[in-house]
């Protein structure tokens, strides 16, 4: 007897592959090595929200409707973020990483997959409190121009302020979070001097090359959405972008240990998945 559920699932998987191929050929955005489960969830969710009857029909709309394609990019984008998310990560940065960075005359930091920017401004506050902001430059990148526009404005709704304040305190914050923003009409806006130390730019981890040689890269909770091949490629990108002795911070559920470049890194803090780059290709 034919298992029609298996046949249906196989057809859906084929349709998804064709959709991703069409997106890549038409727009250059390569999602073909993203986690299949993540993409399937996002595609089926978009299908429910629209009047489109099938993934094949979605493919046609993507090819002929750039505005709809922008919605798809937002769907695929990984935008789970908040101020001082995972406070212990920032506390570890404060105690174990920034004292080392203080030894450099100038610090370059790449925040890859910055989303709407809350964690970028969190890092800027941390640098300010450790006396490092004025000699730091943060490159904050994402492939999604919509979330980058939000990040550049440095304006957010005040609905999560209590949670943000708690995160800040748990991260070892030395002042009040309110010292760093102004509030008006249910919105908060961060101090403009932070924006002067941040360069926001479009960059695709999947298709673009090394961004710059930097002292530290932060890319948290992004690798888990990639398959093993793409994870290896992105870790190579980070390896090539870091100076020797540079720091890499990834999410608590992520690791570079399995990758082809795992031996080039060693832990600064295993619990928070913060690494130091030991050597380069030619060593």
Pairing of strands 155-157, 187-190: antiparallel
Bridge partners (DSSP) listed for residue 137: 108
Res 74: pLDDT = 83
- Across the 283 residues of the chain, what is the mean pLDDT of every consecutive 10-residue run? 53 90 91 87 88 90 92 81 95 96 96 95 98 97 92 94 96 95 94 96 89 92 89 93 95 88 93 89 49
- At 202, list the tokens: 């479009």
Confidence (pLDDT) at 2: 39
Q: CB neighbours of 115 closer than 8 A, spacing ≥ 6?
A: 77, 78, 79, 80, 81, 142, 144, 147, 151
Nearest-angstrom CA–CA distance, 261 and 278:
11
Residue 223 and residue 226: Cα distance in Å, rounded?
Answer: 5
Contact (CB, 8 A) for 71 and 180: no
Q: What is the pLDDT of residue 126?
A: 97
Q: Quote the tokens at residue 91.
A: 């506390």
Q: What is the distance in angstroms between the CA of the first residue and the CA of the last residue of the chain?
A: 60
CA 258 to chain centre: 20
Q: What pLDDT score was predicted for residue 180?
A: 97
The pLDDT value recorded for residue 6 is 52
State the pLDDT at residue 87.
97
Q: What is the pLDDT of residue 38?
A: 85
Whole-angstrom distance, CA of residue 151 vs CA of residue 161: 17
d(CA 34, CA 24): 13
Kindly compute the dihedral angle of the four CA atoms of residues 76, 77, 83, 86, in this order, to the nearest 10 degrees: 60
At 126, give phi and psi (nearest 5°).
Answer: -60, -45
Look at residue 276 in the predicted model and tell me its pLDDT: 96
Q: Supply 59's token pair.
A: 């493919």
Three-state secondary structure call for residue 90 = helix
Rounded to whole angstroms, the Cα distance separating 233 from 154 reads: 31
Per-residue tokens: 213: 């040689």
What does the alpha-carbon distance between residue 205 and residue 128 come to, in Å, rounded to a whole number?
A: 28
């Amino acid at each position: 007897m034919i298992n029609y559920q298996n046949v249906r699932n196989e057809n859906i998987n084929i349709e998804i592959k064709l959709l991703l191929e069409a997106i890549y050929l038409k727009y250059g955005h390569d999602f073909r090595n993203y986690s299949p489960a993540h993409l399937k969830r996002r595609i089926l969710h978009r299908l429910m929200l629209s009047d489109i009857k099938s993934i094949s029909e979605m493919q046609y709309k993507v090819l002929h409707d750039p505005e709809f394609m922008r919605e798809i990019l937002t769907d695929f984008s990984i935008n789970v973020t908040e101020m001082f998310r995972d406070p212990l990560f920032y506390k570890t940065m404060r105690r174990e990483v920034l004292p080392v960075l203080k030894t450099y005359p100038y610090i370059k930091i790449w925040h890859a997959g910055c989303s709407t920017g809350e964690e970028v401004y969190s890092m800027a506050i941390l640098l300010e409190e450790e006396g490092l902001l004025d000699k730091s430059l943060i490159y904050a990148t994402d492939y999604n121009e919509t979330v980058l526009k939000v990040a550049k404005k440095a304006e957010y709704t005040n609905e999560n302020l209590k949670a943000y304040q708690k995160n800040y305190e748990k991260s070892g914050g030395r002042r009040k979070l309110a010292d760093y923003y102004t509030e008006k009409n249910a919105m908060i806006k961060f101090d403009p001097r932070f924006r002067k130390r941040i360069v926001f730019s479009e960059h695709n981890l999947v298709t673009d090359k090394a961004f710059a040689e930097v002292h530290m890269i932060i890319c948290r909770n992004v690798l888990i959405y990639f398959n093993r091949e793409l994870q290896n490629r992105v870790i190579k990108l980070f390896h090539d972008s870091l100076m020797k002795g540079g720091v890499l911070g990834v999410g608590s559920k992520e690791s570079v240990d399995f990758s082809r470049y795992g031996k080039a890194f060693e832990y600064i803090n295993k619990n928070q998945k913060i690494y130091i780059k030991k050597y380069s290709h030619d060593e």
